[in-house]
A and B are shown apart, each in its own frame.
Chain A
Amino acid sequence: MPHITSTWARDYGLPDPATRASEISRADADLATAAARALGSVALAVRFGRERARAARGAIESGWSSPRAQHSLTALITLSLGVEQACGALARACTSLREAIAQAHADVDAAYAAADDVIAGSNLAAGMWAAGPEEMLRIDRERCALVHNLHAAISAIGRTLDAAASSACAALAVDPGAAVPSRVSPAVADGESRTMSRFRADLRAPTGRHHRLATAVNDALQQARAAGRTARLVAYDPDDPAGQGAVAICIGDIAEATSVAVLVPGVGNSPAHMADSIGLAEALTASADNATGTSGTTATVLWFGYDIPLSWTKDGPGETPYDTARGAVVDSLRAIDASDALQGGISLATFVQSIRPMMRAGSNLALVGHSYGSTTVAQAARTLNRDAGVDDIVLLGSPGVGYGIATADDFHAVDADHVFSLSFPLDPVPAVGRSDAIDDIFPAGGLARAVTLGSGAGPFGPHPSDESFGATVIAAPSNEPVDSAVDFDQHAMSNYLSGRSLAAVGAVAAARYQQVPVRRSRS
């Protein structure tokens, strides 16, 4: 039940103190405690292990004159000392963060308790109409002052907590295991080997659709490498999905990156034209690197792994003219609602699970979807659970999040605090997603949804930038001048991934949330 001051804030048109109080209360002190305990346990265990390694080195020094064995043990001792010291320092930073959060929670409680005392002491909750005009004016005045003062007090508590959190961010800047070498798991190495074998076989093929796709993918890889980027093929299946081909190229080193973004394009894109989008993946990588202040910390996976609607003009001809014509019709019909994103979401979920073992522990993973790709990302975030290790989702120029999702709280992969949306005001696609125009043209689709999902289900589901959805809405202007009443340049992925909007998406991808300009965050 909302506090009475929230009601008064609404009645008097004042900022509601509960909005900031709710944000403060969502800061989870238990997570900081768990992190401190885990890091403390690592520091302690590593110290014990290091002492045993020192004993082993002593035994080797007396029993075997080979310097190589001694050097190996010395290297392990040095590495473990580094891990122990780093974990100890990080545990202390987590403990300080926990204390700051706990203090903020206590201060908010105390501020509300003090407000309750004022309300009781000054009889502010009394019915207005029983009092005379002067008393009514006094109550009005004091209620306003109370709400104002409470809001100021809560805001100050929030600022103090934010300052402590910013200090914690600085103290938590280092990966404690950065110096410890990692090994590629046999399963990952095997998967990479099979991907590359298939790709090379198609590239060597004399002709045919597989050869055309492999050549296009190779062009995209070479384009990225020519720009000085590390580019690696992480998925390649020329027959999946539905014959369009499923391809993923990573810009940057996925194994070493501290942040990985998976960029999912929307309608009209095809793996046969991946080179068109490579520049945007590079831009996102550079933007996320810029947010961290260090180059080479981010990788972006450009994922063309679902049957992208309206891509038939780029997919190339089918095996027969009939296949080509049929493909064009089916491909176009897929764009009229979110049905295709259901299957695409499952494919993306599977892909996410396949790349997590390639990534270093604790790296950030953001799914960034544009247009129909945002619907696909949303469906993947509904399909996956928290164990999948997705940290954030970003929905750009979205027509809607698809079916089975009413609000940002309905994603299973991420908490609502980690759902970001950006739709430019004059982008026609979000407007189409919200309207009934498609159902007017294809009433059968609306009827089918009404039967399966209930009445009121639009062709693309709820819009993520709507206030009722509860996502964090990014504040960034369009980078394209408006040319006409219906301007599809406003919707272009290149428009969303440039300028301030690119900087905002890069900041989310790098988990630098303080750098994300926000129009509206959840309350």
Chain B
Amino acid sequence: MSCDLGVDTDDIRLAASAMTDAADDFAQPGRLTVAEEVRGAAGHGSAASREALGLAARRAEQGLAAADRLCAIARSLAEALHSAAGAFDQAETWCSAGF
């Protein structure tokens, strides 16, 4: 009875590790001091300046939030890949043991 499930768990773990690194990259901007400078900042001056500066701060905040959400997605993918690699290893172990 074959126990080869047709997967290479080393590759899957490699992918999981790359996704963990990707999540760390996505998390970087939120740790910068400049992130605090734009969060909740308001524009001043004429109506046009206020509107433009308010939008600039808002878009920066949204960019930081988008990076945070990408980080969360990458981290959950990394966890899923780690789990999948572990499950495949376990399945192969059981298969080899005759289950």
A49-B25, A73-B77 known; A364+B54 contact, CB < 8 A: yes
Which B residues are CB-close (under 8 A) to A80?
26, 70
Closest to B25 in A: A49
Contact B45 A417 (CB under 8 A): yes
Contact B42 A415 (CB under 8 A): yes
Instruction: Give the distance to chain A from B7, nearest Cβ to Cβ, in Å.
Output: 5
Closest to A64 in B: B7
A377 at the interface (CB under 8 A from B): no
Contacting residues of chain A (338-392) with chain B, CB-CB under 8 angstroms: 360-364, 386-389, 391
A38-B34, A38-B35 known; A97+B53 contact, CB < 8 A: yes
B40 at the interface (CB under 8 A from A): yes
CA distance A86 to B70 in the complex (A): 14
Residue of A50, A56, A60, A168 with most partner-chain B CB within 10 A: A56
Contact A39 B59 (CB under 8 A): yes
Which A residues are CB-close (under 8 A) to B47?
162, 513-514, 516, 518, 521
Contact A172 B55 (CB under 8 A): yes
Instruction: Give the distance to chain B from A181, nearest Cβ to Cβ, in Å.
Output: 7
A24-B45, A59-B15, A59-B18 known; A42+B66 contact, CB < 8 A: yes
Which B residues are CB-close (under 8 A) to A25?
45
Tell me how many residues of B have a C-beta within 8 Å of chain A.
63
Contact A28 B44 (CB under 8 A): yes
Closest to A93 in B: B56
Contact A161 B48 (CB under 8 A): yes
The A/B interface has a contact count, at CB < 8 Å, of 274
A175 at the interface (CB under 8 A from B): yes
Per-position 1/0 for A406-421, Cβ under 8 A of B: 0000000011011000
Instruction: Give the distance to chain B from A415, nearest Cβ to Cβ, in Å.
Output: 5
Which B residues are CB-close (under 8 A) to A72?
77, 80
B63 at the interface (CB under 8 A from A): yes
A245 at the interface (CB under 8 A from B): no
A27 at the interface (CB under 8 A from B): yes
CA distance A132 to B77 in the complex (A): 87
CA distance A72 to B12 in the complex (A): 14
Contact A362 B61 (CB under 8 A): yes
CA distance A26 to B80 in the complex (A): 50
CA distance A168 to B58 in the complex (A): 13
Contact B60 A26 (CB under 8 A): no
A101 at the interface (CB under 8 A from B): yes
CA distance A59 to B25 in the complex (A): 19
CA distance A177 to B52 in the complex (A): 19
Which A residues are CB-close (under 8 A) to B51?
165, 169, 511-514
State the 3 A-B residue pairs at the shortest beta-carbon distance, nearest first.
A63-B11, A177-B66, A361-B65
Interface residues of A (CB under 8 A from B): 23-28, 30-32, 34-39, 41-43, 45-46, 48-50, 52-53, 55-57, 59-60, 62-65, 69, 72-73, 76, 79-80, 83, 86-87, 90, 93-94, 97, 101, 158, 161-163, 165-166, 168-169, 172-177, 180-183, 360-364, 386-389, 391, 414-415, 417-418, 511-514, 516, 518, 521
Interface residues of B (CB under 8 A from A): 6-12, 14-16, 18-19, 21-23, 25-26, 28-29, 32, 34-35, 37-67, 69-74, 77, 80-81, 84
19 contacts between A and B (CB under 8 A): A24-B46, A32-B53, A41-B29, A48-B25, A49-B25, A56-B16, A64-B7, A65-B7, A76-B73, A97-B52, A165-B52, A176-B63, A177-B65, A177-B69, A361-B61, A391-B42, A414-B42, A511-B55, A512-B51
